[in-house]
Amino acid sequence: MLNEFRQTQLLYRVCSLLIKEEQDNHEVFNQIAALLCQELGVIGSSIWLATNQGGVGLQRLAFFQAREELSYSLQNLDFQAADLVNVQGNGLILHNIHNDENFHEVRRDDLWVTAYPLKNKSGLIGVFCIWDNCYKHTHQEREDFVSLIQKVGSELTNGLYNYKHYSLADHKRIKEELETARRIQFDLMPRELPFLQGTSIGVRTIPANEVGGDYLDIFLTNSKHLGIAIGDVMGKGIPAALWMAMTKVAMRTAAKDYNQPHIAVSQVNSVLFPDLSRQGIFVTLFYALYDLDKKTLLFSNAGHLPPLLYRSKTRKIEPLQLKGAYIGGVENKIYQISGVRLEKGDIVLFYTDGLIEALNSDQKQFGIEKVAELLNSNALYDASQIIDRLIVDLGQFTGDYYQTDDITLAVLKVES
């Protein structure tokens, strides 16, 4: 057993590790478990945190085994000991597991466990276990050992409380911030669609996570043309969402300043290129301008999937093909322009890759053919009904299989 000086030294080291402990870093508990084994000369130690997920349970924060080769699994025995303390609420002090039916894996008469409940005012917050195969023979040895375990346990209780408090607070804060980000991003998507005589418009976006990288904007330009911009930021989550917001601002500004889509897209690229290329990120962008009087749709494309044009006269699908490198790919690039004249009944579907790459449980993709087929079979409906039907079919196809990518679509239909 350690003398008083070494006991104090051990406690000091445990305390200083706990003070240094970063708010959500549980690595420090592994260091303490190893330190205890080393200083007490025991074969194993562990630290458990009480959790409230799915009832009261325990999560092992740290485990250290001093001897590698054992004929039994100390980790399993350790789980049984901690669980017993959790269920019964009492500690096991220098408990010989021999003939104890709770430890069904092994019958050994030289294995003692001290499983000490870490409690504060609110109840059990953890369990701390020490495994030893050398029994404390004298009364004094046992007294000293229990006293040391209690002191270490008291420090660990404070440490665990801080760890749990900060990590939960952090988790809650991040969740709240993500929820705010989700609301902000939702507001960035078109909310009130412009009412246009003779044309119907529908939009829908299904984010895979709280925030995503799909971008869609629909607005009336100064020259009263309908602007439709759709894009996708490489990657997912918060970084993609930040770039989605920046793309929206750059696109809106360019659309205000330039009334030709290819000049506007070139301008977006000039503005975003330096930061995108430095960060190794890219954005796809398809921008179309619809002249309601002449029924012409002019467009430019920076690496986005070509929208699908359904021709009511021929009942055929024509992708709006136009090549162009993604935004952030080529500095000072001048993008190309193309255009089509639309007729009554024609439908244009703008979409992101999440739509055609949506998977079902057989790992099959929804696919462009299926989308084209649905456009054809629902062509008599207006734009928002077409979207509803596409979404219903997509839902039937994917079932409850989790989608990893955002899905965004917009439909423009010439009604008269």
Gap between the Cα atoms of 416 and 410, Å rounded: 19
Q: Identify which of residues 305 and 410 has a Cβ nearer to other proteins in the complex.
A: 305
Contact call for residue 399 and other proteins (CB under 8 A): no
Say if CB 113 and CB 131 are below 8 A apart. yes
Q: Identify which of residues 201 and 268 has a Cβ nearer to other proteins in the complex.
A: 268
Coil, helix or strand for 380?
coil
Q: Which of 315, 323, 344, 364 binds other proteins (CB under 8 A)?
A: 323
3-state SS record for 67-111: CCCCCCCHHHHHHHHHHHHHHHCCCEEEEECCCCCCCCCCCCCCC
Which tokens in the block code for residue 291?
């002249």
Residue in this structure with the two tokens 């079902």, named with its chain if needed? 360
Q: DSSP readout, 271-293?
A: HHHHHHHHHT--EEEEEEEEETT
Q: Identify which of residues 190 and 239 has a Cβ nearer to other proteins in the complex.
A: 239
Binding mask 277-296 for other proteins (x = CB under 8 A): ---xxx-x------------
Contact call for residue 303 and other proteins (CB under 8 A): yes
Contact call for residue 358 and other proteins (CB under 8 A): no
Number of residues that bind other proteins (CB under 8 A): 24
Binding mask 201-220 for other proteins (x = CB under 8 A): --------------------
Q: Identify which of residues 122 and 363 has a Cβ nearer to other proteins in the complex.
A: 363
- The partner residues of 116 in beta bridges, in order of sequence, read 128
Contact call for residue 239 and other proteins (CB under 8 A): no
Give how far Cα 172 sits from Cα of 56, 117, 181, Å.
20, 27, 14
Contact call for residue 329 and other proteins (CB under 8 A): yes
Contact call for residue 353 and other proteins (CB under 8 A): yes
Q: Which of 42, 152, 305, 308 binds other proteins (CB under 8 A)?
A: 305
| Closest CB 235 distance from other proteins, rounded Å | 5
CB-CB neighbours of 161 under 10 Å: 17
Residues near other proteins (CB under 8 A) are 232-236, 280-282, 284, 302-306, 323-326, 329-330, 353, 357, 404-405
